[in-house]
Amino acid sequence: MSFAETVRRFRSDRGLTQEALGSAVGVSGQAVSKWETADAMPDPTLLPALADALGVTIDALFDHEKHTKEKLADEIRDYLGGFRGGEADRELFDLLAAAFLARPGTGSGARDILGIGPERRIVHLIDRITANGVLWPDAEFPYIALAAEPSGGWASVLRDPAIPEFLALTADPDVLKCVLWLLGEDPKVIETSLLPSKCGADPSRAEEIAEKLEKLGAVTLETVQIDGRPRKLADTLPAGSVSFKSKIVAFLAAACAAVRRGTGTQTYTNDAVPPLKKR
């Protein structure tokens, strides 16, 4: 990309007029126009001010900047810093979606097939053969999970003896009720005997449910003496709780897709989910 094209693109991306850019650099809008039509080049002493006004580096102006994951991470961090709370999460999702669509092999034809448009959006894409893919949120399950095949293949993971136990624990309806309740709660310490009533689970299984939640990493259990009586407490912010929440969300997203969508490479759209924003 030529210097003229680069200046024009960066100026347009920042929503600046030629006059506004010229004012920021200390030249006329006509001078900027000549730069963008390759009729003239700026004085070298103006390049630092021009780069600052466009929010880029001097190397980027001449299309000589090398792209690295570290640099991209810094740019994304700076970009998301301008948003708050849920807005940042929404923007992050759009960036992940854009990255997926930008990968090799997902050109305009793929966009048409996947239903990207002003009123349509991917909510699920999984390749049955490679088991690689992306789970996109829909109105009922607004989460995203990216899955890349491990170096040893999926079989190497599925042979892990911990997986059958994890599946068995989450398959317990009362345990799952408590897991879902914990995902939406702020950290707290609660008596294990009260957990089932909070989640709509069987109160007669309170101790059993608490032990299973501890195996899942959802809580840590501790027995204390209160008024001379032993009371078992569950801390809902155990060490590694962030990991617990992320893995549970990913698991539920995968289970949701498997149950609702069946198998094979398929796409589904949902008008209730807004389309990707154009950058």
Q: How high is the pLDDT of residue 104?
A: 59
Contact indicator for 40, 31 with CB cutoff of 8 Å:
yes
Q: Please, what are the domains in the chain?
A: 3-61 (1.10.260.40), 69-157 (no CATH), 162-241 (1.10.10.10)
Each residue's pLDDT expressed in tens, for the chain with a length of 279 residues: 789 999 998 999 888 999 999 999 999 999 999 999 999 999 999 999 999 999 888 888 887 767 677 778 888 888 888 887 667 766 776 777 667 666 655 444 333 334 444 433 444 444 444 445 555 555 555 555 666 666 777 777 778 888 889 999 999 999 999 998 988 888 889 999 999 999 999 999 999 999 999 999 889 999 988 888 888 999 987 655 556 777 787 787 777 767 765 444 333 333 333 343 433
> End-to-end alpha-carbon separation of the chain, Å?
19
